[in-house]
Structures are given as C-alpha cells and as structure tokens.
Chain A
Amino acid sequence: EEHLVESGGGLVQPGGSLRLSCAASGFSFSNYWMNWVRQAPGKGLMWISVTSRDGRSTYYADSVKGRFTVSRDNAKNTLYLQMDSLRADDTGVYYCVRGMSSSWFTLDYWGQGTLVTVSS
C-alpha cells in the first residue's frame, strides 16, 4: 500500500528557513513525479512545486519561485522541500503528493501533511 509521510514542519520566524522531508513507501518512488501542495489554516489548496522522476525537471508556483527548492533522493525514497526567506503567508499544512504515472498533474496519493507556522 502506498504511503507518504511528511516531516520537518514547525515554528519559524519570518525570513527563516526550513527543510521538509517526505518518506515514500509501498510503490516504486523513482517512477513517479512528486508534488508539494500547501493548505493555509481554514483555507483552500495551493500547488507549490513538482519534480520529475529523476529530479532534473522542476516547476514552481510564482509565489515561491526563487525561495523554495524541491529535490529528491531516489536511493532513499525521499522527497524534500527547502524553504528559504519564509513569510507569514507561507504558513500552512504542506502535503507531499504523488503524481499519477500517466500524468504528473493528477494527484493520486497524498500524505497526511506537516504544519509550518511562520511567525515572530
């Protein structure tokens, strides 16, 4: 059974950095594009980023471009999100999400999320 477990969330001051991790199991991690999606408290979903199977192709939402970096280690079945220059509006639950094998933009398995709070 597919399983995604995020970690690394917590409280950070504005301007600070945080690195999220997502451990994958139950499927062949290296065969799938992987996404990050954020949900602000009580709000809707916002797509953040995606990385290709080998990590060579990455795409970002405009609001995080230049501040966030997605990467992966296929040997460790782990996805990462490096978040720098954090702002209050980056606060939310960050979900690690698998893209369907035929199309990365169909988000077929979601982790339970990790909460990031940006506040002084």
Chain B
Amino acid sequence: QSALTQPRSVSGSPGQSVTISCTGTRTDVGGHNFVTWYQQLPGKAPKLIIFDVIARPSGVPARFSGSRSDNTASLTISGLQAEDEAHYFCCSYADTSTLVFGGGTKLTVL
C-alpha cells in the first residue's frame, strides 16, 4: 500500500491553468477507473471534486477536470481563482480492496 506520488506544491496566477499529477502503478491508478480527487481548505475536512477519473459531482465548477494516462492521473484547474488555494489529494482504489492516497499538493494562487 505505497502512497501515490504527487508534487508537494504548484502555483499559478489568477486566470491561468495548473495541472497536478498523481502517479501510481498498474495495481491502482493504472488498473482501475476509480481515481478521485479531494480539495482541502485550511482547517476544513476534504471535499470530493473528481471521481471515476473524470467525473465531477454536482456543484463542482467545470474549471476542475480530471484525466489519466497509463499510471498517472492528473487534475487540471483552469481559470485559477484565489479561492482555489488549498491542498489537493488524489486517491485510487487498489487491487487489495483498499484505498491509497497521494501525499497531497499545496496549490498557491500568486
């Protein structure tokens, strides 16, 4: 159950786009269509923003999008806004009927 690999930090200016990567293996990210992304604002509980690799729950802006290539999933945030500054965590279902999270990425809006 090794953690998925995410960059520790990314940054962008308002209006720009940023992409956060999440690298796993063929037994988790690459082997199942069950990658999720969570946004955690300071002092708050995480919030689901992407599920099943590319799907958005109702209420999540279309600026947030997910994708995957082989064993790497990605979260792209377009038209960055100041309110997007938060930690972002990826997560994947794994072969052993468990979930594995990434280490988290801090997004700074410059």
Contacts and interface: CB of A to CB of B under 8 A. Distances in A.
Query: Which interface residue of A59, A106, A107 has the most chain B CB atoms within 10 A?
Result: A106
Which range contains the number of B residues in contact with the other chain?
A: 20 to 34
Which 6 pairs from chain A and chain B are nearest by CB?
Answer: A47-B99, A110-B45, A44-B104, A105-B93, A106-B51, A45-B101
Interface of B: 1, 3, 34, 36, 38, 45-48, 51-52, 57, 89, 91, 93, 97-104
A62 B103 CA distance: 17
B104 A45 contact: yes
Nearest to B102: A44
17 contacts: A44-B3, A44-B89, A44-B101, A45-B38, A45-B89, A47-B99, A47-B101, A59-B97, A61-B1, A61-B98, A103-B34, A105-B36, A105-B91, A105-B93, A106-B52, A107-B91, A113-B45
Contacts, number: 58
A5 B24 CA distance: 32
A108 B48 contact: yes
Interface of A: 35, 43-47, 50, 59-63, 95, 100, 103, 105-108, 110-113
Contacts of A44: 3, 89, 101-104
Contacts of B47: 110
B98 A107 contact: no
B34 A47 contact: no
Contacts of A35: 99
A62 B1 CA distance: 7
Contact of A106 (B1, B45, B48, B97): B48
